[in-house]
Structure 1
Amino acid sequence: MRIHFHGAAGQVTGSMHLVEAAGKRVLLDCGMQQGSREMEAANAGDFPFDPASIDALVVSHAHIDHIGRIPQLVARGFRGPVFAQEATAELMPIMLLDSASLAEADAERANRKRGKGEPEIQPLYTRDDVEDAMAQVRSLRYGARTAILTGVDVAFRDAGHILGSSIVELWADGRKLVFSGDLGPKGTPILRDPETVREAGLVLMESTYGDRNHKDRAETISELGGILEQAWNDGGNVLIPAFAVGRSQELLYWFARFWDEWKMARWQIFLDSPMANRVLKVYDRHHELFDAEAQEIWRGTPNPFRLPNLRGTITAQESMAINEVERGAIVIAGSGMANGGRILHHLRHNLGKKQTHVVFVGYQAEGTLGRRLVNGAKSVRIFGQEVQANAQVHTVGGLSAHADQHGLIEWYSGFDPHPPLALVHGEDEARTTLAGEIEKRFGVEVELARPGMERDV
C-alpha cells in the first residue's frame, strides 16, 4: 500500500491523499484550498493525477476543504463511486451547490468587467456539475466494514468534528491505514466524542491545533455570554462569521442552553445563510448521531433550531434588511473565515462602528480576512472599499471543532502498539510542535507530509 500526499500537506485546507493498493487507486478527500487569492486560484488548476485513473473516492466529512473539488474531479473523468457516511452524503449536495452558486456568481461579475477581446471566464464548476457528481455518492453507516473495491475494505468511525464526520479505516494488501479526517474535541456539544481506533500500520492525522490547547470549554462559554452582555450594553450588533455546518448549529445550541442566564429573548437572532438553514434540517433528521445531553436539550424548550426570536434569512433582500437594525442583532453568517459570503456585507456596514462586536469562533487560515482582523488590522478592503476596523474583535478559541494538542495526542495514544504517523492538515509550526511532542512521548516515527511525497504502509 502506497500513499501519495497531494493536498493539506503543509497547510490546513485542500485535503487530498491518494492510496494505491490491491491494484486500485483510492482517493481520500478531494478538497478545495481556502485562504489567499493564490491558494484559491490553484483550485482551477490540473489535478496531480489523472481523474479517470481513480477507482473510488472516500470522503471524511462535508466541509468544503475536504469535498470542494469533487465536481471538477467528475467533470474531468472520474467515474467511480464516492463513499461517505450517511449524514455526510446528505450534507454534500447542500455544501457543493452553494459553492457552485458562488463560483457562478463570481464568474458572472468578472465577465461584466472583462475588457473587449478578453476570454470569457468560466466558473470553477456549475450546479449541473454538482448534480452529476452527487449521482456517484454511496452512503455508509458508522462501523460497517465494507468492500468498496476488490481487495479494498473501508469503515467509518465517528470523528466528532461535524455531523457525519468520519475517521477512515482502510484495509488492503494485508495492511491497514487510518486517516483521522478532522477530529473534534471531547465534550463538543451535540456530537459524540471521537472514537478510539486500536490498530494501524500507518496513521494520517490532522494537526490544525498541534501547537496549542484550547481554553476550558466552561470558561469559553462564560466568555461568550460576557461578550453578548457587553455588546448589549454597548448598544451595537454582534457579527459571528461561522461555517454553515457545525459552528452555526453549536451557537444556537448554546443560546438555547443559556436562554435565561444570557437573557437571549431580548436579541434578534439572524441565521443569515440559506445553506445553514438547509443544514438545520439535516441535523433534525439525524438525532441518532447526537450525544445524550443534546438529545435531552432537543426535547426541551426552547429547541435550539426553533428559538422564538430566530429568523432564518434566505433571500438577498432579507439579508440586506438586517443592516437596517442599529442595535440588538446577533448575525451568524458565512463564511467562517470571512473570506466570502454574506458576512462580508455585514462587516462592510458594521466594522467601522465602535459598538460592533465581531466574534470569531473558529480557525482563521493564513491569507483570510478573518486572520487579518484577528491579527489586529486597523483597516481592511471589502469589495474594493477600504473599511476602518473600529469594531471590537474577539477570538473565542474554545469553541473550535478541532481537537487541540492534548486531544490529538490523547486520540493517538489509543493505538496499541503506536504506529508510524504522518501529519497532515496543519501549518508547519503546528505540525512541527506536535511531531516533537509525539516523538518524545511515544518514541515513534513522525513525518510532516509534503505535496508530492510518497509513503509505503
Structure 2
Amino acid sequence: MKIQFLGATNTVTGSKYLVTIGKRRLLVDCGLFQGLKMLRLRNWEPLPIDPRQIDAVILTHAHIDHSGYLPLLVRQGFRGPVHCTPATADLCGILLPDSGHLHEEEADYANRHGFSKHTPALPLYTEADARHCLKQLKPQAFDRDIELGDGISLRFSPAGHILGAACVRLHDGKRTLVFSGDLGRLDSPIMQPPAAIGTADYLVVESTYGDRLHEAGDPLDKLADIITRTTARQGAVIVPVFAVGRAQELMYYIHQLKSAGRIPDIPVYLNSPMAIRATQIFHHYAGEHRLGHKQCEAMLKSVRIVNSAEESRRLNTRSGPMIILAASGMATGGRVVHHLKAFAPWQRNTILFAGFQAAGTRGATILSGAESVKIHGEYVPIRAEVQNLSNLSAHADYAEILRWLDGFGQPPRRTFITHGEPIAADTLRRRIEEQKHWRCTVPDYREEYELT
C-alpha cells in the first residue's frame, strides 16, 4: 500500500490523495486548489498519474476544495465510479455545476473587460463538464462495508462537518488506512458530532485549526451586537457564506435572534441560489443534523430569496439597514464579490466573515486589515467595519481534534497531518507527539510513502 499527497499539503485546499493497493489506484478526494495564485495554478497542471489509470474516486464530502477537480478528471479520461455518501452526491449535484458556471462567468467577464493576461481567458471547466461527471457518482450509505475489488473494502463514518461529510476507512485485508476528512465540531448547533473510528494502522488527519482554539462565548451575543450596531448607523451587513453549512447556520441564528427580539426586524436576503437548494436538501437528511423540519422551514421563511442576477444587482443600490448572505465564503467569486464592491467603501456598513479564510483569498486579505482589495481588475477601498465570527467554524479546533483522536484504541503506526497551513499543521504535529506520543509526519506536496 502506498499513499501520495497530491494536495492539502501546507494549504487547506486541493485535497487529493492517491492510494495504490496492489494494482488498484484510488483517489481519495478530488479537490480544487484555492487562494494563493501559486496554488491556483496547480489546477491547470497535469496530475502525475493519467486519470484513465485511476480505478475509483472516493469523496469525503462535497465542498469544492474536496470535489471541485472532478469535472476535469472526467474530462481528462477518468471513467471509474465516484463513491460518496448520498448527501454528498446530492450536494455535488448543485455545487459542481455552480462551480463550472462561475468559471465560465469569470472567463467571460475577464474577456469583456479586458483584464485577463490570456486572450481569450478560458474557464478551467464548464457547467456542462460538471453535469457530465455527476453520472459517475455512486452513493453509499454510512457504516457499511463496500467492496472495491481485490480484497479492498471502503467504509464511510460520519465526520460532522457538513451534510454527508465522512471519514473514510480503507482496508486491504492487512492494513487499515483512515482519512478524517474535514472534522466537524463536537457541539455544533446544527450538525451531529464526528463518529469515533476506533482503529487505524495509518491515519490522515486534517489540521485547519491545528494551531488555535475557537473563540469562547456565545456567537449569538456577538452576532446580535454586530447587527444592532450596524443597523443603528443605517448600514448593511454583508456576509460571505459557504453555501453548504455556514449559510444554514447563520439563517438559524438570525431567525433565533429575531424571534427573541434581540435584533431589529430588518430584511435578510439570501443571495445564493446554491445555498437555497442546499437548505432544501436539509429536509431530506434529518438524521444527519439536529434541526427538525419546522426549524428548517422557519429558517427559509425568515429570509428573502434572491433568485436572479438582476435582483442581486438591485441590492447594491438599495439603502437602509439589511443583511445580505451571499456566496462564496472566502469571497473568491460569486455574487458576494459584487456586494463587496458596492458596500465595502462605506463606513456605515459591516463585512462579517464566519469561517476559515485561506491564505491568498479576498477574505483573508480583508481580515488582515488591508486598506483595499482587488476585485475585477481594480482596487476597492475597505472602509466598512470588518468582523469575524471565528467560533462559527465547521472545523474542529485542536482541542476537539485531540478529543477525536482519543477514540483510537491504540496509536496508528503513523499519522499524517494535512489540510492545514504550515504553522497550523506543524503545531498540531507537535501537540499530538507531545501529548499522545504518536509518530507524526507533515507531508510535502507530491510526496509518497510506503505503508508497510
Q: Does 1:212 align with 2:212?
A: yes
Match for residue 395 of structure 1 among 377, 388, 394:
388
What pairs up with 1:194-343 in 2 under 5 angstroms?
194-216=194-216, 218-264=217-263, 266-291=265-290, 294-295=291-292, 298-299=293-294, 303-307=298-302, 310-343=303-336
Q: Could you tell me how far 1:129 is from its partner in structure 2?
A: 1.4
Q: Could you tell me how far 1:361 is from its partner in structure 2?
A: 0.4
Q: Give the Cα–Cα distance (whole angstroms) in 2 for the partners of residues 301 and 251 of structure 1.
A: 12
CA contact (8 A) 1:5 1:17 kept: yes
Partner residue, 1:451: 445
Partner residue, 2:164: 164
TM-score (normalised: structure 1):
0.94
CA contact (8 A) 2:207 2:425 kept: yes
Q: Could you tell me how far 1:312 is from its partner in structure 2?
A: 1.4
Instruction: Give the secondary-structure state (helix, strand or coil) at the position aligned to 1:362.
Output: coil
* Residues 366-375 or 60-69, more deviating: 366-375
CA contact (8 A) 1:435 1:446 kept: yes
Deviation string 1:313-368 (CA, Å, 9 cap, x unpaired) is 12110101112221221001111111211111111111111110111101111111
Q: Give the Cα–Cα distance (whole angstroms) in 1 for the partners of residues 186 and 108 of structure 2.
A: 43
Q: Give the Cα–Cα distance (whole angstroms) in 2 for the partners of residues 148 and 312 of structure 1.
A: 43
Instruction: Give the secondary-structure state (helix, strand or coil) at the position aligned to 2:283.
Output: helix
Q: Could you tell me how far 1:113 is from its partner in structure 2?
A: 5.8
Instruction: Give the secondary-structure state (helix, strand or coil) at the position aligned to 2:304.
Output: strand
* Residues 350-359 or 219-228, more deviating: 219-228
Q: Give the Cα–Cα distance (whole angstroms) in 2 for the partners of residues 387 and 263 of structure 1.
A: 33
Q: 1:227 to 1:203 in 2, by over 3 A?
A: same
Partner residue, 1:142: 142
* Residues 254-263 or 161-170, more deviating: 254-263
Instruction: Please tell me the residue identity of whatever aligns with 2:71.
Output: P
CA contact (8 A) 1:22 1:172 kept: no
Q: Give the Cα–Cα distance (whole angstroms) in 1 for the partners of residues 295 and 332 of structure 2.
A: 36
CA contact (8 A) 1:202 1:421 kept: yes
Q: Could you tell me how far 1:271 is from its partner in structure 2?
A: 0.7
Q: Could you tell me how far 1:63 is from its partner in structure 2?
A: 0.3
Q: Give the Cα–Cα distance (whole angstroms) in 1 for the partners of residues 113 and 373 of structure 2.
A: 23
Q: Could you tell me how far 1:288 is from its partner in structure 2?
A: 2.2
Which ranges of structure 2 fall in alignment gaps of 5 or more residues? none
Q: Give the Cα–Cα distance (whole angstroms) in 2 for the partners of residues 317 and 433 of structure 1.
A: 46
Q: Could you tell me how far 1:154 is from its partner in structure 2?
A: 0.7
Deviation string 1:238-284 (CA, Å, 9 cap, x unpaired) is 00001111100110111223333354561111111111111111112
CA contact (8 A) 2:279 2:296 kept: no
Deviation string 1:352-407 (CA, Å, 9 cap, x unpaired) is 11110111101111111111111111122222232221111001100001000101
Instruction: Please tell me the residue identity of whatever aligns with 2:20.
Output: E
Partner residue, 1:355: 348
Q: Give the Cα–Cα distance (whole angstroms) in 2 for the partners of residues 101 and 107 of structure 1.
A: 10
Partner residue, 1:345: 338
Q: Does 1:98 align with 2:98?
A: yes
Q: Give the Cα–Cα distance (whole angstroms) in 1 for the partners of residues 349 and 170 of structure 2.
A: 48
TM-score (normalised: structure 2):
0.95
CA contact (8 A) 1:158 1:167 kept: yes
Instruction: Give the secondary-structure state (helix, strand or coil) at the position aligned to 2:43.
Output: helix
Deviation string 1:173-205 (CA, Å, 9 cap, x unpaired) is 411011000001111122100001100001100
Q: 1:109 to 1:358 in 2, by over 3 A?
A: closer
Q: Give the Cα–Cα distance (whole angstroms) in 2 for the partners of residues 455 and 407 of structure 1.
A: 27
CA contact (8 A) 2:20 2:26 kept: yes
- Count of residue pairs the alignment pairs up: 448
CA contact (8 A) 1:59 1:84 kept: yes
Deviation string 1:132-182 (CA, Å, 9 cap, x unpaired) is 211111001111111123321111111110111001111114110110000
Q: Give the Cα–Cα distance (whole angstroms) in 2 for the partners of residues 111 and 397 of structure 1.
A: 37
Q: Give the Cα–Cα distance (whole angstroms) in 2 for the partners of residues 322 and 74 of structure 1.
A: 38
CA contact (8 A) 1:229 1:262 kept: no
Partner residue, 2:83: 83
Q: Give the Cα–Cα distance (whole angstroms) in 2 for the partners of residues 136 and 147 of structure 1.
A: 17
